[in-house]
Amino acid sequence: MTSVYKKSSVLTDAPLTYCPGCTHGIIHKLVAECIEEMGVQGRTVGVASVGCSVLAYNFFKVDMVQAPHGRAPAVATGLIRSLPDNVVFTYQGDGDLAAIGIAETVHAASRSENIVIIFVNNAIYGMTGGQMAPTTLSGQVTQTSPNGRDASIAGYPIRVCEMLSTLDGTTYAERVAVNNVPNIRKAKAAIKKAFDNQINRRGFSIVEVLSTCPTNWGLTPLKSLDWLKENLMPYYPLGCYKDQTEKGGKQDDWL
Amino acid sequence: MANRVTIDEHICKGCGLCTGACPKKIILLCCDKLNAKGYNPATVTQMELCIACGMCAIMCPDSAITVEKE
Amino acid sequence: MTEKVLMKGNEAMAEAAIRAGCLHYFGYPITPQTEISVHMSKRMPMVGGVFLQAESEIAAINMVLGASAAGVRVMTSSSSPGISLKTEGISYLAASDLPCVIINIQRGGPGLGGIQPAQSDYNQATKAPGHGDFKVLVFAPSTVQEMVNTIFKAFDLSEQYRMPAMVLGDGLLGQMMEPVVFPETVVTPREKPWATIGHQEQRSPNIINSLYLQAEMLENKILERYRRYDQVQSKETESEIYLTEDAEILLVAYGASARIARGAVDFARKLGIKAGLLRPITLWPFPKKELVAAAENAAELLVVEMSMGQMVDDVKLAIDCSKPVHFFGHTGGVVPSSAEVLERIKELAGRNGND
């Protein structure tokens, strides 16, 4: 018998605390598999953020630092500037990255910090019970937009990859999804490319992963995958928004 | 001599994502089983039809599925 | 012996940090401490260190958190409004048992306030540098030389006790120029087995965290930390006494106010008034025992601060409210003069007008 699929060795034995069918689990696997396959587990330091993935430090078998809400890119900056030979990644949700942490996100990209940001976008605040996020769609019902997000009150959703692609410091920005196996494979390839950039000191990479939140969307896990495809993908098109990988070696100047 | 899909019933949350991913539609959430956490774990019903594509395992958020090929 | 140089307080502290082995600095401009950032921006590249002007004081303190987690000596600096921004990060640093040095060159507050010197962040520094049950080391130097020496000590003790250290200066101290000699201390890096530098597959992962969802676990963590604080209190308290043995009026003042108060004590002594001064050097831990001893013969205590009197309560508590504690000061950036303080001493000594 040959193994077709087994659990990554970079994941701990701790059972994931995410809701049934939550795609955080899938994304955790992809990050773990990339770290394992690229042989960098020993020198990886992850930065956990605040949101449903706040306990991420229990799930990855690498050194990890817990950051305050939104500050993960700044914490990652402190880490990578102190440990330039290490592999540093952050793992953030839409509130963490695009609301409270948007300044830290934009400036880490603008400085082309040599880090990987894994951005889990499910258009809602999961941990605190389903409130509106900066990426909540117009008309989407959440706990704090009970009549559907109204642009005249709450403005418009933020397209992070598009926004960061305008910055010279952004080396690589790609949006992927994990709603089916082909997309999961593409998501893994994007994450691998991001880590490859980091290892080769090419600067800032972000992979935005369209994800589901069955619990707060009020849908079954399987129906959530459909909702993602029908609603999130049209507003947040998948694809590569910036790729300066060829330019390379951005971080060689300092240090 | 068959491909083998192992689902860890203690880890499985009965989310059903694997049931949608399986191209052969041989994974089901059978109603008469509950694990210690109260979830109804998934079961592979006709192992002999399994083609070891691994898609169930790729989809599983909890790494509850292991797939081996003959 | 290294040469004596004339330096501005802000720059001297920045230089001291580098010589104390700090090769990572993250800051943001704010008056009256911007010279610290500017000095770092020039010197860090020369010594192969890292200087980064962050996008905000919030980002800077979080970069400090990351660098401290990586096991390096790291510093940030700001002034009152910027320190308010940092309080979240300071709470996380303390809760993660991470060492670092934070300089606060205080200015008039609250709010945007002013840019003149003040000491109105005493309460913030000693009582609530962030939310939750925790303390940070708080040092209050009063000369440029002392600021330099304090930086070396702050890094050492911060690492030894795994807690943030704040150096509480003010705009006067930050801007003044005095002669200074840099210690020729050889800095030996401390082992930090807890640092998140990558486990190299040789050990289990290090996790630097402040989240403990089980209340009993969180309580135990805090109690453990407070046992360390007890050690700090018993070993690291520092203060200076001046003419306190027979002092009938004991002045209590720190930082720049202490120099002003000392001038007033000298004037008072010339007038035959037995005044003395206790100068706390560590504000946390507060020199309670030393204060009680210095106040032994005093009938009155007089606290002099550039604030509305934030240290007064600590003085009262230290002596169990056993004697009257008075206050003289200015706030909002106004600096008291020794002459004004002398008038207050004379009032307390029961004399009015010229004498």
Contact residues, chain A, for B60 at CB < 8 Å: 25-26
Size of interface A-B (CB pairs under 8 A): 79
Token readout for A89 is: 């990644």
Q: Which pLDDT score is estimated for B1?
A: 60
Q: Would you call A66 and C211 a contact, using CB atoms and an 8 Å cutoff?
A: yes
Which residue in the set B15, B54, B61 is minimally distant from A5, CB to CB?
B54
Burial class (CB in 10 A: 0-12, 13-18, 19+), B65: buried
Contact residues, chain C, for A107 at CB < 8 Å: 54-55, 59
How does strand A116-121 pair with strand A87-93? parallel
A88 contact partners, CB below 8 Å, separation of at least 6: A44, A45, A46, A47, A76, A79, A80, A114, A115, A116, A198
Q: Would you call B17 and A180 a contact, using CB atoms and an 8 Å cutoff?
A: no
Q: Which pLDDT score is estimated for B30?
A: 78
Contact residues, chain C, for A127 at CB < 8 Å: none
A100: nearest CA in chain C?
A: C58
Contacts 24+ apart (CB under 8 A), C183-189: C183/C2, C183/C19, C183/C148, C183/C149, C183/C152, C184/C1, C184/C2, C185/C19, C185/C20, C185/C152, C187/C19, C187/C20, C187/C21, C189/C21
Which of A83, A85, A97 is the mutation pick for testing C, counting most C CBs within 10 A? A83
Domain map of chain C by residue range?
Answer: 4-190+208-235, 240-348
User: Does residue A18 sit at the B interface (CB-CB below 8 Å)?
Assistant: yes
The angle subtended at Cα C340 by Cα C339 and Cα C344, nearest 5°, is 115
Which residue in the set A54, A63, A255 is minimally distant from C211, CB to CB?
A54
DSSP secondary-structure letter at C117? B
C208: nearest CA in chain A?
A: A65
Domain C240-348: CATH class, spelled out: alpha beta
Which residue in the set A44, A79, A107 is minimally distant from C66, CB to CB?
A79
Token readout for B35 is: 């694990």
User: Does residue A221 sit at the B interface (CB-CB below 8 Å)?
Assistant: yes
Distance, CA of B60 to CA of B7 (rounded, Å): 10
Distance, CA of A195 to CA of C123 (rounded, Å): 45
Q: Which pLDDT score is estimated for A252?
A: 47
| Structural domains of chain B, ranges and CATH numbers in brackets | 4-68 (3.30.70.3270)
User: Does residue A9 sit at the B interface (CB-CB below 8 Å)?
Assistant: no
What are the Cα distances from residue C279, in Å, to B12, C136, C140, C288, C347? Answer: 65, 19, 9, 12, 22
Token readout for C166 is: 């704040």
Q: Which pLDDT score is estimated for B2?
A: 83
Identity at A118, one-letter amino acid code: I
Contact residues, chain A, for C211 at CB < 8 Å: 54-55, 66
Q: At C331, is the secondary structure helix, strand, or coil?
A: coil
Distance, CA of C19 to CA of C149 (rounded, Å): 11
With touching defined as 3 or more inter-chain CB pairs under 8 Å, the answer for chains B and C is no
Q: Which pLDDT score is estimated for A179?
A: 98
Distance, CA of C63 to CA of A77 (rounded, Å): 6
Write out the H or E segment, with its range, that includes residue A223. Answer: helix A221-227
Q: Which residues are paired to A239 by β-bridges? A: A175
- Would you write out chain C's pLDDT as a tens digit for each of its 355 residues? 579 999 999 999 999 999 999 999 999 999 999 999 999 999 999 999 999 999 999 999 999 999 999 999 999 999 999 999 999 999 999 999 999 999 999 999 999 999 999 999 999 999 999 999 999 999 999 999 999 999 999 999 999 999 999 999 999 999 999 999 999 988 887 999 999 999 999 999 999 999 999 999 999 999 999 999 999 999 999 999 999 999 999 999 999 999 999 999 999 999 999 999 999 999 999 999 999 999 999 999 999 999 999 999 999 999 999 999 999 999 999 999 999 999 999 999 996 544 4
How many residues belong to chain A? 255
The DSSP annotation for A19-87 comes to PTT-THHHHHHHHHHHHHHTT-GGGEEEEE-SSGGGGGGGTBSSEEEEPPTT-HHHHHHHHHHH-TTSE
List, for residues B9-64, the tens digit of each pLDDT value: 999 999 999 999 999 999 999 768 899 999 999 999 999 999 999 999 999 999 99
Q: In this complex, which chains have at least 3 CB pairs below 8 Å with chain B? A: A
| B22: closest CA of chain A, how far (Å) | 10
Q: Would you call A26 and B70 a contact, using CB atoms and an 8 Å cutoff?
A: no
Q: Would you call A29 and B68 a contact, using CB atoms and an 8 Å cutoff?
A: no
How does strand C164-170 pair with strand C100-106? parallel
User: Does residue A185 sit at the B interface (CB-CB below 8 Å)?
Assistant: yes
**Beta carbons within 10 angstroms of residue B70's beta carbon:** 10
Token readout for C187 is: 């800095």
Checking ipTM against 0.90, whether it exceeds it is yes
For chain C, strand residue ranges (E) read 4-8, 24-27, 50-53, 74-78, 100-106, 137-139, 164-170, 177-181, 207-208, 239-242, 249-252, 275-280, 282-284, 300-305, 325-329
- Name the superfamily (CATH) of residues C4-190+208-235: Thiamin diphosphate (ThDP)-binding fold, Pyr/PP domains (3.40.50.970)
Q: Comparing C-alpha atoms, which of C68, C62, C69 is closest to residue C91? A: C62
List, for residues C49-63, the tens digit of each pLDDT value: 999 999 999 999 999
| Structural domains of chain A, ranges and CATH numbers in brackets | 24-246 (3.40.50.970)
Instruction: Give the dihedral sign, CA A219/A222/A224/A230.
Output: negative
Write out the H or E segment, with its range, that includes residue B44. Answer: strand B42-44
The DSSP annotation for C224-268 comes to HHHHHHHHHHHHS--EEEES-TT-SEEEE--HHHHHHHHHHHHHH
Burial class (CB in 10 A: 0-12, 13-18, 19+), B3: buried
Which residue in the set A5, A15, A225 is minimally distant from B57, CB to CB?
A5
Q: Would you call B69 and A4 a contact, using CB atoms and an 8 Å cutoff?
A: yes
Contact residues, chain B, for A20 at CB < 8 Å: 13-15, 39
**Beta carbons within 10 angstroms of residue C239's beta carbon:** 21
Which residue in the set A43, A75, A82 is minimally distant from C72, CB to CB?
A82
Mean pLDDT by 10 residues, chain A (255 residues): 95 98 98 98 98 97 98 98 98 97 98 98 96 97 96 97 97 98 98 97 97 98 98 98 79 42
The DSSP annotation for C123-179 comes to HHHHH-SSSSS---EEE---SHHHHHHHHHHHHHHHHHHTSEEEEEEEHHHHH-EEE
Contact residues, chain B, for A4 at CB < 8 Å: 3, 52-54, 57, 67-69
| B28: closest CA of chain A, how far (Å) | 13
Q: At C194, is the secondary structure helix, strand, or coil?
A: coil
Write out the H or E segment, with its range, that includes residue A209. Answer: strand A204-210
Q: Would you call A7 and B66 a contact, using CB atoms and an 8 Å cutoff?
A: yes
A26: nearest CA in chain B?
A: B61
Distance, CA of B49 to CA of C177 (rounded, Å): 84
Q: Would you call A82 and C74 a contact, using CB atoms and an 8 Å cutoff?
A: yes
Which of B1, B5, B17 is the mutation pick for testing A, counting most A CBs within 10 A? B17
In the block, tokens 């910027």 appear at C82
- Number of H helices and E strands in chain B, helices first, is 2, 4
Q: Which pLDDT score is estimated for C276?
A: 98
